[in-house]
């Protein structure tokens, strides 16, 4: 009987450029090593608060570097990228819809996440704008009124809050954040370490 | 006539684990591409203040991850590493001695930096302790009383302050921080991007 390896857990935020870049390589990398990816939407604003952190673009000096590095890191990974305007944005509605899909139509959850990330970071679709997000849902095949009913529902608000709390309890303080066999890896730039772990185990 | 390529500028802090790891690979990487390395000691405490940042180990949640990641990133790079105690420490004396060497015996400056980084991160030599630093200077071939005279002299205090101010003016907010042909790269994890830049130019 083949050994079943646990999925690579992938904590992501819809407004994080490094998350978007990582979202374009994590599926293929995991698949090459016989793994699946377990996507988990969180809100960076919530994890930042727990870890007393701020967005890199809210720091003087670091801001200019980060804006430059987003672009360069996307080119380095071979991923199309245009810094959206506005940036960053509130993404709780897209994230609530993600958890609804994950619980009710699980095969659609990760595709929805990629659809949103690509829309925001390559087509400048503002995920914080309710009308834009409804159009994006319709494009994806979700009834836009049903989508809005989900992200305004207390149950799905609570589901996202619970996901953020669980992430923080597991040590997540940023995104992208990966957990492989219980081992935590933070950042798009941990790709090579994740690859080594998947290829040859703990090091 | 061969084209002369500018040196890779390497801003470092004596108390930074990621700087120490990078200090073990940057010389060989630069040399493979016909470059030298221009070492520049700074104080992270000063650049953190300018960029409104704190040490990763001073943040809840991120602290535990960082302590684990220092070790793992050192193993990934094949570099011996033991988290020193105390950590982090004040390193202005070692840094003032670096700038004195750089200005007066320039060939010794980078070797002194590596001597200190290895002492702190593999032998737990506390660079903030005056007696320990004097012994380290003596090991390196510097008269310990002359060393002490340097790091207590207003002129070398001013030299380090000037180096920190210049770094901040150039956009440095952390360490290790590299500048290659004017292009800024922050962090031990920008190694692959620096390598691509050195091998094939801007991307």
Q: Is the ipTM of this complex over 0.90?
A: yes
Cβ-based neighbour number of residue A140 at 10 Å: 17
Tokens of A200: 């040859």
Q: Calculate the CA B121 to chain-centre distance.
A: 12
Closest CA in chain B for residue A188? B189
Query: Which chain A residues are within 8 Å of B68, Cβ to Cβ?
Result: 184
Mean pLDDT value of segment A148-169: 98
**pLDDT at res. A63:** 97
Query: Which chain B residues are within 8 Å of A73, Cβ to Cβ?
Result: 193
Distance from first CA to last CA of chain A, Å, rounded?
A: 26
What percent of chain A stands above pLDDT 70? 99
pLDDT in tens, B80-125: 999 999 999 999 999 999 999 999 999 999 999 999 999 999 999 9
The reply to whether residue A60 touches residue B51, judged by beta carbons under 8 angstroms, is yes
User: How many whole angstroms separate alpha carbon A2 and alpha carbon A56?
Assistant: 43
The reply to whether residue A61 touches residue B196, judged by beta carbons under 8 angstroms, is no
* Mean confidence (pLDDT) of chain B: 97
User: How many whole angstroms separate alpha carbon B185 and alpha carbon B176?
Assistant: 9
**pLDDT at res. A4:** 72
Mean pLDDT value of segment B5-10: 95
Binding-face residues of A in 138-197 toward B, CB within 8 A: 168, 171-174, 184, 186-187, 189-190, 192-193, 196
Q: How far is residue A88 from each of residues A10, A127, A133, B1, measured CA to CA in Å? A: 20, 10, 16, 49
**pLDDT at res. A5:** 85
In this structure, are strands B37-41 and B177-180 parallel, antiparallel, or unpaired? Answer: unpaired
- Angle at CA of residue A113, ends A91 and A100, nearest 5°: 80
The reply to whether residue B61 touches residue A69, judged by beta carbons under 8 angstroms, is no
**H or E stretch including A24?**
none
**pLDDT at res. B1:** 52
pLDDT at A90 over 60: yes
pLDDT band at A3 (very low <50, low <70, confident <90, very high): low
**Closest CA relative to residue B121, chosen from B17, B18, B41:** B17
**pLDDT at res. B33:** 97
Closest CA in chain A for residue B77? A193
Mean pLDDT value of segment A109-128: 98
Best interface-test mutation with B: which of A42, A58, A65 has the largest number of B CBs within 10 A? A65
The reply to whether residue B193 touches residue A52, judged by beta carbons under 8 angstroms, is no
Specify the CATH number of the domain B8-200. 3.40.30.10
pLDDT at B164 over 70: yes
pLDDT band at B4 (very low <50, low <70, confident <90, very high): confident
User: How many whole angstroms separate alpha carbon A26 and alpha carbon A179?
Assistant: 12
pLDDT at A2 over 70: no
**pLDDT at res. B156:** 98
pLDDT band at B5 (very low <50, low <70, confident <90, very high): confident
The reply to whether residue B173 touches residue A203, judged by beta carbons under 8 angstroms, is no
B83 φ, ψ (degrees, to nearest 5): -60, 120
Q: Is A52 on the interface with B (CB under 8 A)?
A: yes
Tell me the pTM: 0.96
SS (H, E, C) chain B: CCCCCCCEEEEECCCCHHHHHHHCCHHHHHHHCCCCEEEEECCHHHHHHHHCCCCHHHCCCHHHHHHHHHHHHHHHHCCCCCCCCCCCCCCHHHHHHHHHHHHHCHHHHHHHHHHHHHHHHHHCCCCCCHHHHHHHHHHHCCCHHHHHHHHCCHHHHHHHHHHHHHHHHCCCCCCCEEEECCEEEECHHHHHHHHHHHHHCCC
The reply to whether residue A173 touches residue B61, judged by beta carbons under 8 angstroms, is yes
The reply to whether residue A193 touches residue B73, judged by beta carbons under 8 angstroms, is yes
pLDDT at A116 over 80: yes
pLDDT at B173 over 60: yes
CA distance B153 to chain A (A): 31
Which CATH number applies to A15-200: 3.40.50.150, 3.40.30.10, 2.130.10.10, 3.20.20.70? Answer: 3.40.30.10
pLDDT at B136 over 60: yes
Q: Are residues B65 and A173 in contact, defined by beta-carbon separation less than 8 angstroms? A: yes
**pLDDT at res. B2:** 56
**What are the residues facing A8 on neighbouring strands?**
A37
What percent of chain B stands above pLDDT 70? 99
pLDDT band at B63 (very low <50, low <70, confident <90, very high): very high
């Amino acid at each position: 009987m083949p050994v079943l390896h646990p999925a690579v857990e992938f904590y992501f935020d819809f407004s994080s450029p490094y998350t978007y870049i990582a979202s374009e390589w994590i599926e293929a990398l995991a698949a090459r090593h016989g793994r699946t990816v377990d996507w988990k939407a969180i809100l960076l604003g919530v994890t930042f608060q727990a870890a007393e952190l701020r967005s890199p673009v809210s720091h003087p000096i670091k801001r200019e570097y980060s804006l430059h590095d987003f672009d360069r890191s996307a080119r380095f990974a071979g991923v199309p990228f245009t810094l959206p305007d506005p940036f960053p944005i509130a993404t709780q509605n897209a994230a609530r819809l993600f958890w609804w899909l994950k619980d009710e139509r699980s095969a659609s959850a990760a595709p929805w996440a990629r659809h949103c990330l690509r829309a925001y970071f390559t087509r400048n679709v503002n995920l914080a704008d309710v009308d834009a997000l409804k159009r994006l849902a319709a494009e994806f095949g979700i009834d836009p009124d049903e989508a809005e009913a989900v992200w305004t529902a207390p149950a799905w608000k609570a589901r996202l809050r619970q996901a953020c709390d669980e992430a923080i309890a597991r040590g997540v303080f940023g995104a992208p954040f990966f957990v492989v066999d219980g081992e935590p890896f933070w950042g798009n730039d941990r790709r090579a370490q994740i690859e080594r772990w998947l290829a040859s185990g703990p090091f």
